[in-house]
Homo-oligomer: A and B are copies of this chain.
Amino acid sequence: MTTPFSITRRVEFGDTDMAGIMHFSNFFRFMEVAETDFLRARGLSVSWIEDGVKWGFPRVSVTCDYQKPAKFSDVLTIAVRLEKLGKKSVGYRFDFTNQRGEPIAVGRMTSVYCRGTNSDQIESLEIPARVREILEGQL
């Protein structure tokens, strides 16, 4: 088993709420940064335009379990693991730990490969071979 891809990100003042801890919704913003960096490091993206068409990986399902509060100035490490690779979808797991190595939260995200349609809708598609190949190496 390989060491998972990970990023670090500091909890900023504006990420906190009046309870003095990172607002629970901001964990999803941190997951998105980790997902984006994970894809970028592999030459992929979460959203792009090609031939005038919008492509991307919108999320269809997300979860987060909170174990310990994250506080202002904490530096969180977010490890990204590819857990599932379906025909059209990608499933990630995100493990948050703080600078003392304490587990903070575990998040999951399922994204589906999609393109924008002419009628301003989105439709899901099979992940193309080129993208699949890159992701398969991460399972």
Contacts and interface: CB of A to CB of B under 8 A. Distances in A.
Q: How many copies does the complex hold?
A: 4
Interface of A: 12-14, 16-21, 23-26, 28-29, 32-33, 36, 40, 45-47, 54, 56, 58-66, 69, 72-73, 120, 122
A54 to B, nearest CB: 7
Contacts of A14: 17, 23, 25, 29, 32-33
Nearest to A45: B73
Among A16, A18, A28, A40, chain B packs the most CB atoms within 10 A around the CB of A18
Nearest to A31: B25
A60 to B, nearest CB: 5
Contact of A25 (B19, B28, B120): B28
